[in-house]
Copies of this chain bind each other. A is one copy, B any other.
Amino acid sequence: MEQPAMSYIRVFAPATVANVVCGFDVLGFAVETPGDEVELFVVSQPGVRIRAIYGDNGRLPLDPEKNTVSASVMHYLQQIGREDLGIEIVLHKRMPVGSGMGSSAASTVAGLFAIHHLMGQPLSTADLLQLAVEGEQLACGQGHADNVAPALLGGFVLIRSYHPLDVIQLPTPESLICALLHPHIEIQTRDARKILKPYVPLSDVTIQMGNLAGFISALYNQDFALLSRCMQDVIIEPVRSILIPEYQSMKSIALSGGALGFGISGSGPSVFALCHEVSTAETILSRLQAHLQQHHIASDIFISPINRQGPRLLDVRETVHKS
């Protein structure tokens, strides 16, 4: 029986901002920080098991069938016909769970990227993406690619179609900085979806389509004034923002502080701002955090360039065993 070419791997996969204000369910981007780390250990006993999860305060399932990392790794091994292997997983949760920053997508992509490299990359990136969407389905009940695709591919990504999956990598301007704030309240993705109105006025569809199309154009032209004008959402934000305390105040603080745009990250409760400068992002985040403190809401903040690479290898121990 052939053994993999490495017996240990450690990888990082990034958090992601889905929707990006004007691109509900079709647009997302990855950040450099935060993100998750996954370690895989090849062991002799067949099967996929979770050895430990750190940083989740005991919230994530250890059952390998129910955890998105182990389930995705198992799925991968099925795909390549290597269910005979023994893999033990350590997940280092380095970002808040249920925060709207693509927490499960980061774990899923980290697990898949790790096993993919451990096995010598026998599948295509398109295959990997398909497995990641299916893994996300496990975690969220829906296979939304707008977190897993940017987590896997890096940069801004368009999900042109879900059936069939059609994903387009968009240009990612180097100078964009993402400011992320996670208020310590929790919204389940399922609830954030249930609250949405099932029908949208046609006139709002036109407004949203103009903004999304303009946003895509702005990425190609690196036109930040246009990008800023396009970061408006008449469909989702008016509904979901009511789940986030102090949302309108935070938006005013961010925009008056020089953000190009401000909105809900994914289904919330995290919020994000795109900025030109690190200093702008720092000022905005400290003002937002101070404002929330006045309302007795604690928060985490993150400042990051756009991640252009997707996941990355942190450590590999190559001990080739071929039988």
**Counting CB contacts under 8 A, is A278 at the interface?**
no
Asked whether, in the complex, the Cβ of A213 is within 8 Å of the Cβ of B214, the reply is: no
Interface residues of A in 154-208 (CB under 8 A from B): 158-162, 166, 168, 170, 196-202, 205-208
Tell me if A5 is interfacial: C-beta within 8 Å of chain B: no
Q: Which residues of A in the span 199-241 have a Cβ within 8 Å of any Cβ on B? A: 199-202, 205-217, 220, 226, 229-230, 235
Within 8 Å by CB of A213, from B160, B198, B229, lies: B160
Residues of B within 8 A of A215 (CB): 213
Interface residues of A in 114-171 (CB under 8 A from B): 158-162, 166, 168, 170
Residues in chain B near residue A235, CB distance under 8 A:
202, 205
A168 touches B214 (CB 8 A): yes
- Specify which chain B residues have a CB less than 8 angstroms from the CB of A161 in the assembled complex: 207, 210-211, 214, 229
**A269 part of interface (Cβ distance < 8 Å):** no
User: Chain B residues with Cβ under 8 A from A198's Cβ?
Assistant: 201-202
CA distance A159 to B215 in the complex (A): 12
Interface residues on A, range: 35 or more
Interface centre among A205, A214, A226, A229 (most CB of B within 10 A): A205
- Chain B residue contacts of A197, Cβ below 8 A: 202
Question: Is A25 interfacial (CB 8 A cutoff)?
Answer: yes
Closest B residue to A199 using CB positions: B199
Please measure, in the bound complex, the distance between the C-alpha atom of A301 and the C-alpha atom of B305, giving whole angstroms: 52
A27 contacts chain B at the CB level, 8 A cutoff: yes
C-alpha gap A208/B220 in the complex (Å): 20
Tell me how far the C-beta of A8 lies from the nearest C-beta in chain B, rounded to whole angstroms: 39
Give Cα A196–Cα B206 distance, bound, in whole angstroms. Answer: 13
Residues of B near A24 (CB, < 8 A) are 205-206, 209
**How far is it, in angstroms, between the C-alpha of A159 and the C-alpha of B230 when the chains are bound?**
12
Tell whether A217 pairs with B159 under 8 Å between CB atoms, given A209-B23, A235-B205: no
Does A26 count as interface, using CB distance less than 8 angstroms? yes
Q: Report yes or no: A168 in contact with B206, Cβ–Cβ below 8 A.
A: no
B158 in contact with A26 (CB, 8 Å): no
Considering the chains assembled together, what is the distance between the CA atoms of A209 and B170 in angstroms?
15
What B residues does A199 contact at CB under 8 A? 199-202
Cα A10 to Cα B210 with chains together (Å): 34
Check A213 against B166 for contact (C-beta < 8 Å): no
Chain B contacts of A213 at CB under 8 A? 23, 26-27, 158, 160, 212-213, 215-216
Chain A residues within 8 Å of B, Cβ to Cβ: 23-27, 158-162, 166, 168, 170, 196-202, 205-217, 220, 226, 229-230, 235
